[in-house]
Amino acid sequence: MMALDRTVSQAEALVDADEARIARRRRVEGVGKWLMPVIVLGLSIWGWDRLVVWNAIPHYILPSPGRVMQTLIKDWPILFDALLVTLQITFMALAVAVIGGVGLAILFTQSRWAEMSFYPFAVILQVTPVVSVAPLIFIYVENRTIGLLLCAWIVAFFPILANTTLGLNSADSNLRDLMRIYGARRWQTLRFLQLPSALPYFLSGLRIAGGLSLIGAIVAEYVAGTGGIGSGLAFRILEAGYRLNIPRMFAALILIAVSGVVIFAGLSILSHLCLRKWHESALKRE
């Protein structure tokens, strides 16, 4: 009896030690998830600064991080207005891509003929570089904002369409048969089975499309090349390059990069909130 109690105590001690090890590993990973990128970023900025100082590189060739930050603060009114213009085009293009992509994906799943007819054209839009299409758009579209919106939409549209179509078609066939047996209509199957099954795929495509819409807006602004009031960050970069104002170029690039990170992070949080209680991709793993 004493031997049995000793064995049970040893087993409990092993379980407690294993749980403590798992908890400790999670704490370390949680800290490292945030600490390691900060360390790498700090070392990169320090190396950039030392490169400029040790080689005495002129600021019109490669500015130091300090000068870039000074320029960002000094030119903040100009750069912030340009950022708002770029973000406006980005979010408008993303919204139109979501509406069009989801709508077409639903149409494709409801009609095989529609998918066979229109899906190849969606692929053509995706594989055609927006840089080659944008000049034609600005020739035929007089409104500059609509032209920029079309260019950004072309880039962001396909990931949502492709991922949502895949998700809608990935619904469990056994559940489809079950709903058919119970007399569910096509739209009931779509609402209660296919749309929930497609949600993770849609959110994955949305995260991709968020960054691509920003890229599309920047590329469209480069091609448009118009200045004055209502100019985006791309034009400010071009303008700074013409004037050899390289610190402003770097400041604008930093704003673009930060905007992209914020968009991706926001859409990732949205995805986690939508999936955290039921989907395997968002559940906590051991």
Q: Residue 119 falls within a domain, yes or no?
A: yes
Do 43 and 119 lie in one domain? The reply is no
pLDDT on residue 286 = 43
DSSP string, the chain: -HHHHHHHHHHHHHHHHHHHHHHHHHHHHHHHHHHHHHHHHHHHHHHHHHHHHHTT--TTTS--HHHHHHHHHHTHHHHHHHHHHHHHHHHHHHHHHHHHHHHHHHHHHH-HHHHHHHHHHHHHHHHS-HHHHHHHHHHH---HHHHHHHHHHHHHHHHHHHHHHHHHHTS-HHHHHHHHHTT--HHHHIIIIIHHHHHHHHHHHHHHHHHHHHHHHHHHHHHH---STT--HHHHHHHHHHTT-HHHHHHHHHHHHHHHHHHHHHHHHHHHHHHTTT-TTTS---
pLDDT on residue 229 = 47
Do 97 and 17 lie in one domain? The reply is no
pLDDT on residue 184 = 79
Do 92 and 227 lie in one domain? The reply is yes
CA 143 to CA 148: how far, in whole Å? 9
Do 238 and 131 lie in one domain? The reply is yes
Q: Residue 283 falls within a domain, yes or no?
A: no
pLDDT on residue 89 = 93
Do 103 and 165 lie in one domain? The reply is yes
pLDDT on residue 173 = 80
Q: Residue 245 falls within a domain, yes or no?
A: yes
Do 93 and 32 lie in one domain? The reply is no
Do 28 and 91 lie in one domain? The reply is no
Q: Residue 98 falls within a domain, yes or no?
A: yes
Query: What is the CATH classification number for the domain harbouring 155?
Result: 1.10.3720.10
Do 19 and 70 lie in one domain? The reply is no
Q: Residue 282 falls within a domain, yes or no?
A: no
Which among 21, 36, 56 is the end of a domain? 56
State the residue range of the domain holding 52. 1-56
Q: Residue 280 falls within a domain, yes or no?
A: no
pLDDT tens track, the chain, 286 positions: 555 455 645 555 555 566 767 777 777 777 777 788 889 889 999 999 999 889 988 888 889 999 999 999 999 999 999 999 999 999 999 999 999 999 999 998 888 888 888 888 888 888 888 888 888 888 888 888 888 899 999 999 999 999 999 998 888 888 888 888 888 788 888 888 888 888 999 999 999 999 999 999 998 888 876 555 457 898 889 888 888 899 999 999 999 999 999 999 999 999 888 887 766 655 555 4
Q: Residue 268 falls within a domain, yes or no?
A: yes
Do 177 and 131 lie in one domain? The reply is yes
Number of domains present in the structure of the chain: 2
Which among 35, 56, 77 is the end of a domain? 56
Do 14 and 86 lie in one domain? The reply is no
Q: Residue 284 falls within a domain, yes or no?
A: no
Which among 11, 28, 56 is the end of a domain? 56
What pTM did the predictor assign?
A: 0.83
Do 34 and 102 lie in one domain? The reply is no
Do 145 and 9 lie in one domain? The reply is no
| Cβ neighbours of 162 (radius 10 Å) | 19
